[in-house]
Amino acid sequence: MFKLLRWAMLRSRWPKEDLPTNCDAKRMSDDNPESTVAGNESTSLRPAVVPTQYIYPFILVTTLFALWGFANDITNPLVRAFKEIFLISNAQSSLVQWAFYGGYATMAIPAALVIRKVSYKSGIIIGLLLYAIGALLTIPASMMLDFNIFLVGFYVLTFGLAFLETTANPYILSMGPRETATQRLNLAQAFNPIGSLSGMVVASVFILPSLQVSEFRTAELAAHPEYSTMLPSEVDGLITTAMENHAETSPEAHQAMVAHDLNIVKTPYVVIAVIVIAVLLVFVFSKLPDTGHEEESIELKQLFKHLLTNWQYVGGVIAQTFYVGAQIMCWTFIIHYGMTLVGLSAAQAQNHNIVAMIIFLLSRFICTFILKFMQPGLLLGVLAVGGCVLTAGAIFLQGTTGLYCLIGVSACMSLMFPTIYGIALNGLSPNDAKLGSAGLIFAIVGGAFMPRYQGSLIDGEGMVIAGQALESVRVSFFLPLICFVVIAIFGFSVYLFGGRRTAEAA
């Protein structure tokens, strides 16, 4: 990843053949002093995305983006897994996301207040420590077969992620010229999906296929050939009923199955805790630049007033809330969509989620390049419209076509988070950006509330729209559709009314 980062940063700077050598520059200066001025002006039009003195800290901090991506996307498939392991409703299993993203909301502003008084490095170390503690709480949770302890572990883990995101995003923005801040953040954020993809692969290859509840589902399908003639949603309900009957008639066997599956779930969290502790030690012994330390007292009232009167910042927080909600809903319930509407196994549905993440990753790099030629507000609006169209396809189109539409939504979501982030913080001082960043991280609470509402819709009844009967899973995707409408309004508003600030953010 380090080699890929360095290549991306070098490509973002002047091409080597376009730069004069030292001798050429000296000769140009001697022969024609005006040419030196012109050359300086030309160079100033293309400042480096990551200046040389920040390359090492940029690479080191960018590893954090992959770390929290892993945590986010190894947890999403557990919503469905916990539903079957603990035999709870979709609304109850979505408490995983409630705890996970609720941790962001709880800790975002306290983290920002701490970071304003300490260095970015200290904030990162605190975040990594909390991350490791939360991951290790899965050990007692699996031993005690307790869903609630898992929730506490996820809650504490995201205390750490809140510190990391509140710190790393403005830290990356501060590592160079303001003109290239949004590009710099998008470059760093481009490596977030690498961690996310790793989490998805671990879930698909090592967790979901190894669960005995998945084996139970496969055995039920083999024992009932008549299921092949029924709708996937009906089959899913019958298998759930069979699991409940098994828990009542064979409680000891069922408890052994639960213990086995929770031990499988625990293992990757223990491994990532060890990795996080290793990264923590690297930060402890690394010398990092302090680009925004503040010694003076914090005037919260004045600062909040300054932020709340900035319409692009307030709009950015609102748009970020709806974006995170849409992202988590689309990635969490793609497994429900595949299993309930297409008849896939959990592992097969998760494989489609991996395809979505690969598309997300590739689209992130492509859209980062497009930002050189298109204002961020306009690009954000166009991507949101694409998200609306594809989500509508997932609602109204049947079978694998609808599933492919849901996968395609990831291409539209790829650049939304960092672009909204860069637009919202554009023009703020480094210290104001620390608290401003907290508001944007607090907006991740959208990932706590909205999946729970979607889970409730999935537990409910379907409906008929324009003569077409829609299953409850399809109906639930009206929620992310509404989210993309809100994001489109923000993006086009910034493009039309943001003025010079939007141009600078590009």
What are the tokens at 410? 């990831």
Helix axes 55-75, 95-117, angle to 10 degrees: 160
Q: Kindly report the average pLDDT of the chain as a whole number.
A: 83
Among the candidates 291, 309, 336, a domain finishes at 291
Max avg pLDDT among 81-95, 287-301, 479-493: 479-493
Q: How confident is the model at residue 302 (pLDDT cuts 50, 70, 90)?
A: low
Same domain assignment for residues 225 and 242: yes
Tell me what the mean pLDDT of segment 116-134 comes to. Answer: 90
Task: Tell me how far the alpha carbon of residue 150 is from its chain's centroid.
Answer: 20
* Nearest CA among 71, 78, 64, 138 for reference residue 451: 78
The Cα 357–Cα 409 span in angstroms is 10
Lowest average pLDDT, out of 39-53, 281-295, 436-450, goes to 39-53
Q: The domain containing residue 388 runs over which residues?
A: 299-505
Alpha-carbon separation of residue 142 from 149, 202, 245 (angstroms): 9, 18, 23
Same domain assignment for residues 347 and 449: yes
User: Is there a contact between 371 and 403 (Cβ–Cβ < 8 Å)?
Assistant: no
Q: Is residue 28 part of a domain?
A: no
Same domain assignment for residues 124 and 227: yes
pLDDT at res. 45:
56
What are the tokens at 469? 């009967």
Is the predicted pLDDT of residue 27 greater than 50, yes or no?
no
Lowest average pLDDT, out of 202-216, 314-328, 419-433, 452-466, goes to 419-433
Lowest average pLDDT, out of 37-51, 146-160, 391-405, goes to 37-51
| pLDDT tens-digit series, residues 139-193 | 999 999 999 999 999 999 999 998 998 888 888 888 888 777 777 887 887 788 7
Same domain assignment for residues 307 and 367: yes
What are the tokens at 150? 């898992």
pLDDT at res. 43:
44
Tell me what the mean pLDDT of segment 51-77 comes to. Answer: 88
| CATH number for the domain that contains residue 364 | 1.20.1250.20
Tell me what the mean pLDDT of segment 383-387 comes to. Answer: 97
Among the candidates 270, 291, 312, a domain finishes at 291
Is the predicted pLDDT of residue 452 greater than 50, yes or no?
yes
Kind of pairing between the strands at 463-465 and 468-470: antiparallel
pLDDT at res. 442:
81
SS3 content of the chain, % helix, strand, coil (to 5): 85, 0, 15
pLDDT at res. 297:
55
Q: What is the pTM of this model?
A: 0.73
